[in-house]
Amino acid sequence: MSSGTPGRDAPERRPALTRGRIVRAAIGLIEREGADALSMRRVAAELGVAVMSLYNHVPNKGALLEGVAEHVVSGMELQDDPSAPWQERVRALVRAFRTVAHEYPRCMTIVLTRRFDTTVGLRPAERALALAEAAGFDGVTAVRIMRALMAYALGAQMREIGFGKMLHHLDTSPAENFAKLDAATFPHVIALGPELARHDPEADFEFGLDLLVGALEALPRARSAR
Amino acid sequence: MSSGTPGRDAPERRPALTRGRIVRAAIGLIEREGADALSMRRVAAELGVAVMSLYNHVPNKGALLEGVAEHVVSGMELQDDPSAPWQERVRALVRAFRTVAHEYPRCMTIVLTRRFDTTVGLRPAERALALAEAAGFDGVTAVRIMRALMAYALGAQMREIGFGKMLHHLDTSPAENFAKLDAATFPHVIALGPELARHDPEADFEFGLDLLVGALEALPRARSAR
DNA sequence: ACCTGAACACCGTTCAAGT
DNA sequence: ACCTGAACACCGTTCAAGT
């Protein structure tokens, strides 16, 4: 009758309800059923508690979403090789966001939408600023570089998972859908149809990243790179 | 007793209910009160009709949101000067997205989140591909350039309106908040605090755009630019 | 300090009924 | 073809009551 867990005394069946457990349950629910399926009631059911119990650890649903965004962002693994050239370290930083975005694909809309003000969001910013300085850029430029890199990291993901689906009807069955396009207004889209239908998000991502890093290399610097 | 409108016969007080009127009412509501305030019931009330009347023109709320996204994107003004150098035409294209994003700031999360499959979304894609070809790039490269430009356009906006607020607590009262940061883990953020607190989204946007366009100029081309 | 059930004011959407 | 009210199954959150 003994289960795998050390059941002696069995003081409490479930671990204590905490903000962390609530946030993780929410993330699991979102990844399994999508962001629309998230409700306080569903999360409570998942954890086997009454709805109102959640409110002892989270002030409201907005705060829960904030917690989800924070948790995802804090999952960014910002490993760094200080001996590598700054170009490669920049690439690694931007890729780190892409990696976490792939880990929590359905949570991304929340991350991209909800604002939160924990310091976890500052970690990638700090890293980007540090790298820009290592590359020899002055402070003003470093801030702008950080913002451009963040814009690309966010946008590349956004385009890949959501807005890219602007071309949604081209994806499913290209041949049929391209036929419906007006040849006069969309000549290039039609001509490049096969290429547009092909999906290599990795290559697309790296292409844009190369553009940016290359542009940074060409940018005049205050000091020479370390 | 005659009002400004030509009231003779006064055949119907309100214009007919259409998908267009519903979408525009939704957009107005979102811009006035935020995306969370949008509900079928609120839209119906706004238009002075019963909730269920909406369902004669829109299958469900998701489709309404799709309509909102479409309407906003179709508002992109893609004027073009074919005699201008392609670099400037590319800039104008990317700026067009930024402009519409500023026109409907609170609708942007929906545009960036909802997928829709009308051809309006293909207009900027077609333009980007045309410009890339005019610049002398081959088809495969043109598609990748288009995607990189879209990623930046989306991300720059995203960062400015939402995720940028990751640094939210730095914005409000910099001095006080920077003091709370751990000096050992965020040295650059702290050192560049004043610069981070300064807001010139226009300059930030143009900086990143310059990086990308400059990178395109440096990219090897199949043919010389027209 | 934490948990809970009942209640309230909202949702989106189905259905059956009207014109 | 379009509109409508009632009803259903859900929401988030307040409140008062428990331990």
**What tens digit of pLDDT does each residue of B154-203 get?**
999 988 876 545 555 555 555 566 667 899 999 999 999 989 888 899 99
Residues of B in contact with A215 (CB under 8 A): 211-212, 214-215, 218
For residue B204, the enclosing domain spans 80-218
Is the confidence at residue A34, as pLDDT, over 50? yes
Cβ pair B121:A186 closer than 8 A = no
Residue B145 included in any domain: yes
Residue B183 included in any domain: yes
Give residue for tokens 């939408």. Answer: A113
How far apart CA A125 and CA B186 sit, in angstroms, is 9
- Interatomic distance A52 CA / C8 C1' (Å): 15
How far apart CA B11 and CA A216 sit, in angstroms, is 65
Number of domains composing chain B: 1
DSSP label at residue A203: H
**What's the Rg (C-alpha) of chain B?**
23
Please report the pLDDT score of residue A27 as a whole number.
Answer: 98
* Domain CATH code at residue B166: 1.10.357.10
Closest CA to B193 of B176, B213, B208: B176
First to last CA, chain B: 64
Whether the beta carbon of A60 falls within 7 A of nucleic chain D: the reply is: yes
Encode pLDDT of A125-167 as tens digits. 999 999 999 999 999 999 999 999 999 999 999 888 765 455 5
Residue B204 included in any domain: yes
Residue A30 included in any domain: no
Residue B20 included in any domain: no
Residues of B in contact with A116 (CB under 8 A): 165-166, 168
pTM exceeds cut of 0.85: yes
How far apart CA A40 and CA A61 sit, in angstroms, is 7
Residues A181-206, mean pLDDT to the nearest whole number = 92
Nucleotide nearest to B41 (CA to C1'): C11
Residues B23-45, mean pLDDT to the nearest whole number = 97
Q: Could you tell me which residue, B58 or A164, shows the higher pLDDT?
A: B58
Nucleotide nearest to A42 (CA to C1'): D11
Residues 55-74 of B with CB under 7 A from strand C: 55, 60-62
Residue A15 included in any domain: no
Residue A204 included in any domain: yes
How far apart CA A158 and CA A224 sit, in angstroms, is 34
How far apart CA A171 and CA A6 sit, in angstroms, is 52
Please report the pLDDT score of residue B223 as a whole number.
Answer: 77
Residue B90 included in any domain: yes
